[in-house]
Amino acid sequence: MLLIPCPYCGPRPELEFRHAGEAHVVRDPSLSSDAAWGAFLYARSNTRGVIAERWRHASGCGRFFNCLRDTVSDNILQTYKTGEPRPDLALDAATRRQLGDVAPDQSVAATEAAR
Amino acid sequence: MNAPFRTPTGGRVDRGATRRFSFDGRSYDGLAGDTLASALLSHGVHLVGRSFKYHRPRGFLAAGSEEPNALTSVNRGGGRVTPNLRMTQVELYDGMEARSQNHWPSLAFDVGAVNGLMSPIFAAGFYYKTFMGPKFMRGPGLWAKLFEPAIRRAAGLGVAADEGDPDVYANRFVHCDVLVVGAGPAGIAAALAAGRAGKQIILCDEGAELGGALLAEPKLEIEGRPAAAWLAATLRDLAAMPNVTALPRTQAFGYYGHNLVALAERLTDHLPGVDTTVPRERMWQVRAAEVVLATGAIERPLVFPGNDRPGVMLAEAGRVFLNRYGVKAGSRAVVATAHDSAYRVALDLQAAGVTIAAIVDLRERPTGPLVEQARGAGLRIVTGGTVMGTKGHWRVSEATVAHVSGDHVTDLQRIPCDLLLMSGGWTPSIHLFSQSRGVIAYDTATEMFIPGKAVQAQRSAGSCRGLFGFADVLADGYAAGLDAAGAAGGDAPALGDKAFAVRGDDAYGPGGFSGALPISGDGARAKAFVDFQNDVTAKDIKLATREGFRSIEHIKRYTTTGMATDQGKTSNLNALAIAAKALNEPVPAVGLTTFRQPFTPVTFGTFAGMSRGQMFDPVRQTPIHDWAAAHGAEFEDVSLWKRAHYFPEPGEDMHAAVDRECRRTRESAGLFDASTLGKIEVAGPDAAEFLNRLYPNSWTKLGVGRCRYGLMLNEAGFIMDDGVVGRLAPDRFHVTTTTGGAPRVLNHMEDYLQTEFPDLKVWLTSTTDQWAVIAVQGPRARDILLPLIDDVDMSAAAMPHMAIRLGHICGVPMRLFRVSFTGELGFEVNVPADYGRAVWEAIWSEGRAYDAVAYGTEAMHVLRAEKGYIIVGQDTDGTMTPDDVGLGGMVAKQKPDFVGMRSLTRPFLTGEGRKQLVGLLPDDDAIVLDEGAQIVDRAEVPNGTHALGHVTSSYRSGVVGRSIALAVVERGRSRMGETLFIPMPGGSIPAKIVSPVFYDPQGERLNG
Ligand SMILES: [Zn+2]
């Protein structure tokens, strides 16, 4: 069970949250291409590694927020408020270390490079 | 009672405290401190079970939680039956009633043993070949006569209780700085270090006593004291630290993400009698900043023919039974080994008076202090030796021993014995480390799989990471405890590493043997067991590789090795080595299978905790529930709600009750408890604009005091919910949702409000539980309500259909909706929930004059179906658009955006051939179609016939005077009058496509 740091409430067990799909999927109803709109509806990156995803602190403050999670290690690298840009991981190496991200993937190499 | 195999002194049992117990109905006695295993062994009882597949006689293999054979069911009466307990972990209490398992009619005479004679058909892959093999294997005759009975008898070990479990179980969530798993020497040293550093510590161990291997070391000295004294003093030190929680009888069974470790604590199973005031077991969900795994190592069996006979056991188990429990596992032992540690066993047993007939060492030239001690003690050592087989019906009576050179064996000799102790060396217990997703490393020097890189905040210490010798293990544990305390952060006193002075430790190191011992001949019928619990032999694994399996994960599933409740604790490495040899690949290239939770079986009760019976799921009841119950309502579950399904009068069945409720509602009036409808208050200056964007309808022009039916779409353009939205004020709306959809709709609204339209000033509040809703439907609805309401003009002119008024009923504040889900004149009275029952009863009293009825959800369904009103989730399935259900007209054409708008223009949603909602009238008006039945265009239905749609709602309608149905059918609206067919087992049912509105198609009754 994940321990998720809600940006408003602090770390809380996963039980209190509801996953809400990939983050930064831009809704643009003016898209004229049906294929592009279809991709917005259904195509997701399904990344192996660090993914930006949305969570809602459903049994807490009720807020939606974004979260960088490593799908290999399940480690959460950072959470941030809706509307904020996706953090640049290389700039947040200290945070990543603090969160115990030692997953053997490319993102670690990026961390090492940033040291 | 005489216990002939109990030593006169020694061990940790209390010789003054007799414990009487029965096993398979026969009475024995043991001592306090015994396990069921040690107590039985003290009486020379070795035959304690039958194996899973071949029903072979089995005894004890081990002395701890890795035991695969000696499983028991303990019955404490009143439904308190626990099957599949390892006798080696079952603490004896006075009056225990235990039974062996997996045999019929008795342990000694077991019909299932015939399976052993049929072993060729039970070879690797039997289940797959039987279920998926050629048809003759699956033929009904063979299946019914042979395979099914065999599988049924073989499937499952013990028998679960057939009564409810009367015990209570507890659950606890805790945080700690350092969790130490395993209280052997490494774990205790780790807890000592981290405890001294002032951290919050939890130290848990599966055993009844903390101490692990230290509990069976009478000659060992630590820091100048006997190990037992050192252990007792150290445990006292730990107990004196308020920051240390020590949990015996507590199995860490699962290591999950973000350092969450699940522990199962056994609280009462070791006590006589039943105390219902305390929980039987407790689940701990521990979130640890840092974890120390000190889970020890498990001895490996040797794989030779007949290695499963009762009396054949792991060497160290023989030593534990002797040193910890004061029990000799036999009187004449052969010790087969590939490792020094078994020499220590032989020496201890010899000192206790057990004859050591021979030590058979696979190694050509064993050396080392223990080997020298054995030579000095005059023990006979067969070097370069192997065991070719064993004899003995209920217990080993003879071992066939030979010299081995390469793949040849010579010098066969038979050695009589009643105990065969075996050791292939030690396997570090990396189960929890693997569960934590740590990377497992293979150490080529020691040929051991050990913890590699950790991916969570944890470290391993002691023999679980391949260390041997108490001095090393203690120091390693202490260092790990310090490391964990430091990593947990905060202030900590500077503590240095610590060396532990140890004497009397007969040092041995890694090494040993894994795989199958060489045997002579082809061994076609030889049964050399690898996995004792699932009866998997070396031959099975070789067969799997011959049949083409190369991945160890596939070999595991095909042979079922390592898949029993013991999770292959004693078998995984041998299975891997045999597979690697057969595949001609190095062991690390083949690799280990994944270790899974739980480490040992955990009762369902522990998982369930308090979540059972009434506590399993919340039950939601409306304020009118008790009235309905008092008036004879039958209830149905709708999401978490209990809803009145129908109100039968004496002698009525459901059909008669529903028929009466519908008829009276259409003739006069009916009362319906609609309190379960979801309700959301949408308020704020941008509330109307928010609803514009959330619903396809237009809300800007909806006047205050008016309401409108709204379909809610998801972004893909499909109907996700529906309800009525009323405007109470320019900046305030009362939104209703379906009963089950309220949380989903609120989440959907919050999602768009917070993330897509954060510029809108809107507040959303769930008010479902705040309002009781009483629907009064039927031509007399107004007449019934009029006397109770004096501040609302309810006349048809002043309050038309789809109007809302605020006012009072019986003096209670009220939101009055003029809405109808029946097609009749109708009102929905919303009052604060606490007044719901009183207002309902007041309306009910008025209704008596008109012979009004209370109706339930079944009548509600019929009444709305007669009008063709959909129920989202019944007539829609998540792929229906507004146009599909005939409501395309309510989609605003001129809005810049709403959720689902863009999707509704996708070709797939606008194209030909979509399924559309229609009515369906079976030609035979007595037939009520099955909901969910498929619809086709022909009476005869060959395979591959295209289904045009399916029946979504189907009822017998009193007012229409026949059966009616709603359905979704491809191009349904263009098929009016067409006859289609509903194929059923009794033959195709012809039915005509009609309008979905069966009653009052002009909708005149609404305007009464
Ligand atoms: Zn929160």
Asked if B30 and B42 count as a contact pair (C-beta separation under 8 A), the reply is yes
The tokens of B219 are what?
Answer: 């000659």
Residues from chain A that touch B439, judged by Cβ atoms under 8 A, are: 104
B716: nearest CA partner in chain A: A41
| Tens-place pLDDT, residues B257-279 | 999 999 999 999 999 988 889 99
A36 contact B CB<8A: no
Task: Please give the average per-residue pLDDT across B521-541, as a whole number.
Answer: 85
C-alpha triplet B509, B511, B512: angle, nearest 5° = 125
Ordered by where they begin, the domains of chain B are 169-294+470-503 (3.50.50.60), 910-1008 (2.40.30.110)
Residue B136 confidence (pLDDT) above 70: no
DSSP B947: P
B172 contact A CB<8A: no
pTM of the model: 0.88
pLDDT at B847: 97
pLDDT at A109: 40
Query: Does the distance separating the beta carbons of A104 and B750 come in below 8 Å?
Result: no
Residue B774: closest CA among B957, B620, B649, B627: B627
- The residue type at B668: S
Average pLDDT along chain B: 93
A27 contact B CB<8A: yes
Residues from chain A that touch B758, judged by Cβ atoms under 8 A, are: 82-83
* Nearest by CB: A104 against B453, B457, B903: B453
Residue B103 confidence (pLDDT) above 80: no
pLDDT band at B141 (very low <50, low <70, confident <90, very high): low
pLDDT at A103: 42
Closest CA–CA distance from residue B751 to any residue of chain A (Å): 7
Least trusted range by pLDDT, from A101-105, B599-603, B664-668, B784-788 = A101-105
Residue B409 confidence (pLDDT) above 90: no
Residue B492 confidence (pLDDT) above 80: no
* Phi and psi based region of residue B89 (left: phi greater than 0; alpha: psi -120 to 50; beta: remaining): alpha
The tokens of B661 are what?
Answer: 């409720």
Residue B459: CB atoms within 10 Å: 22
Put simply, the chain B residues between 275 and 294 with a CB less than 8 A from any chain A CB are: 285, 287
Q: What are the backbone angles phi and psi of residue B100, rounded to the nearest 5°?
A: -80, 175
Residues from chain A that touch B754, judged by Cβ atoms under 8 A, are: 63-64, 82
Cα–Cα distance between B816 and B828 in angstroms, integer? 6
Q: Which residues pair with B358 in a beta bridge?
A: B334
Residues from chain B that touch A99, judged by Cβ atoms under 8 A, are: none
B790 contact A CB<8A: no
Distance A50 CA to ligand 1 centre (A): 22
B82 contact A CB<8A: no
pLDDT at B773: 98
pLDDT band at B79 (very low <50, low <70, confident <90, very high): confident
Closest CA–CA distance from residue A72 to any residue of chain B (Å): 10
| Tens-place pLDDT, residues B622-638 | 999 999 999 999 999 99
Residue with tokens 């020590």, as numbered in its chain = B246
A21 contact B CB<8A: no
| Tens-place pLDDT, residues B541-568 | 999 999 999 999 999 999 999 999 888 9
pLDDT at B523: 59
pLDDT band at A101 (very low <50, low <70, confident <90, very high): very low
What is the β-pairing status of strands B804-809 and B812-817?
A: antiparallel
DSSP B1004: G
Residue B410 confidence (pLDDT) above 90: no
Query: Does the distance separating the beta carbons of A27 and B173 come in below 8 Å?
Result: no
Residue pairs spanning A and B at CB distance below 8 A: 64
B456 contact A CB<8A: yes
Residues in chain B: 1008
**DSSP strands (E only) in B406-528:** 408-416, 419-423, 426-428, 440-443, 448-451, 458-460, 502-503
Residues from chain A that touch B257, judged by Cβ atoms under 8 A, are: 1-2, 74
Query: Does the distance separating the beta carbons of B287 and A102 come in below 8 Å?
Result: no
A4: nearest CA partner in chain B: B258
pLDDT at B274: 87
Residue B666: closest CA among B845, B829, B860: B860
Distance B156 CA to ligand 1 centre (A): 45
Task: Please give the average per-residue pLDDT across B838-844, as a whole number.
Answer: 98
pLDDT at B808: 98
Mutate to test the interface with A, among B902, B906, B910 (most CBs of A within 10 A): B902
Provide the percentage of residues in chain B whose pLDDT is more than 90: 84
Closest CA–CA distance from residue B368 to any residue of chain A (Å): 41
pLDDT at A107: 41
Asked if B505 and B441 count as a contact pair (C-beta separation under 8 A), the reply is no
pLDDT at A114: 37
pLDDT at B1002: 94
The residue segments making up the domain with residue A68 are 3-114
DSSP B974: G
Residue with tokens 């319906």, as numbered in its chain = B672
pLDDT band at B332 (very low <50, low <70, confident <90, very high): very high
B715 contact A CB<8A: yes
| Tens-place pLDDT, residues B890-919 | 999 889 999 999 999 999 999 889 999 999
How many domains are contained in chain A? 1
Residue B64: closest CA among B245, B393, B324, B351: B324
Distances (CA, A) of B966 to B174, B641, B653, B865, B877: 53, 26, 24, 7, 14
pLDDT at B125: 67
Cα–Cα distance between B231 and B893 in angstroms, integer? 81
Distance A4 CA to ligand 1 centre (A): 10
A82: nearest CA partner in chain B: B755
Closest CA–CA distance from residue A77 to any residue of chain B (Å): 12
Query: Does the distance separating the beta carbons of A64 and B754 come in below 8 Å?
Result: yes
B260 contact A CB<8A: yes
Complex-level ipTM beyond the 0.90 threshold = no
Cα–Cα distance between B393 and B401 in angstroms, integer? 18
B756: nearest CA partner in chain A: A27
Query: Does the distance separating the beta carbons of B455 and A103 come in below 8 Å?
Result: yes
Residue B621 confidence (pLDDT) above 60: yes
Put simply, the chain B residues between 464 and 503 with a CB less than 8 A from any chain A CB are: none
Asked if B696 and B689 count as a contact pair (C-beta separation under 8 A), the reply is no
A13 contact B CB<8A: yes
Please list all protein residues whose beta carbon sits less than 5 angstroms from ligand 1, which is an ion: A 6, 8-9, 57, 60-61
B256: nearest CA partner in chain A: A1
Query: Does the distance separating the beta carbons of A34 and B903 come in below 8 Å?
Result: no
Residues from chain B that touch A83, judged by Cβ atoms under 8 A, are: 755, 758
Cα–Cα distance between B575 and B565 in angstroms, integer? 16
List, edge to edge, every strand of the sheet that includes B332-337.
B312-314, B419-423, B332-337, B355-361, B381-383
Task: Please give the average per-residue pLDDT across B421-435, as a whole number.
Answer: 96
| Cα B449 → chain centroid | 29
Residues from chain A that touch B260, judged by Cβ atoms under 8 A, are: 1, 3
Q: Which residues pair with B956 in a beta bridge?
A: B963
pLDDT at B147: 58
Mutate to test the interface with B, among A82, A97, A107 (most CBs of B within 10 A): A82
Residues from chain B that touch A63, judged by Cβ atoms under 8 A, are: 754
Q: Which residues pair with B536 in a beta bridge?
A: B531
| Tens-place pLDDT, residues B9-32 | 999 999 999 999 999 999 999 999
Residue B380: closest CA among B334, B316, B339: B334
Provide the percentage of residues in chain B whose pLDDT is more than 70: 94
Q: What are the backbone angles phi and psi of residue B162, rounded to the nearest 5°?
A: -100, 10
A73: nearest CA partner in chain B: B455
pLDDT at B130: 55
Query: Does the distance separating the beta carbons of A27 and B756 come in below 8 Å?
Result: yes
Q: What are the backbone angles phi and psi of residue A91, rounded to the nearest 5°?
A: -80, -10
Task: Please give the average per-residue pLDDT across B523-531, as a whole number.
Answer: 82
B175 contact A CB<8A: no
Residues from chain B that touch A62, judged by Cβ atoms under 8 A, are: 750
| Tens-place pLDDT, residues B923-952 | 999 999 999 999 999 999 999 999 999 999
A1 contact B CB<8A: yes
Residue A95 confidence (pLDDT) above 60: no
| Tens-place pLDDT, residues B977-999 | 999 999 999 999 999 999 999 99
DSSP states along A15-66: GG-EEEEES-----TT---HHHHHHHHH-----SSEEEEEEE-TTTT--EEE
B754 contact A CB<8A: yes
A100 contact B CB<8A: yes
Residue B579 confidence (pLDDT) above 60: yes
Cα–Cα distance between B194 and B200 in angstroms, integer? 8
Query: Does the distance separating the beta carbons of A82 and B754 come in below 8 Å?
Result: yes
Closest CA–CA distance from residue B716 to any residue of chain A (Å): 7
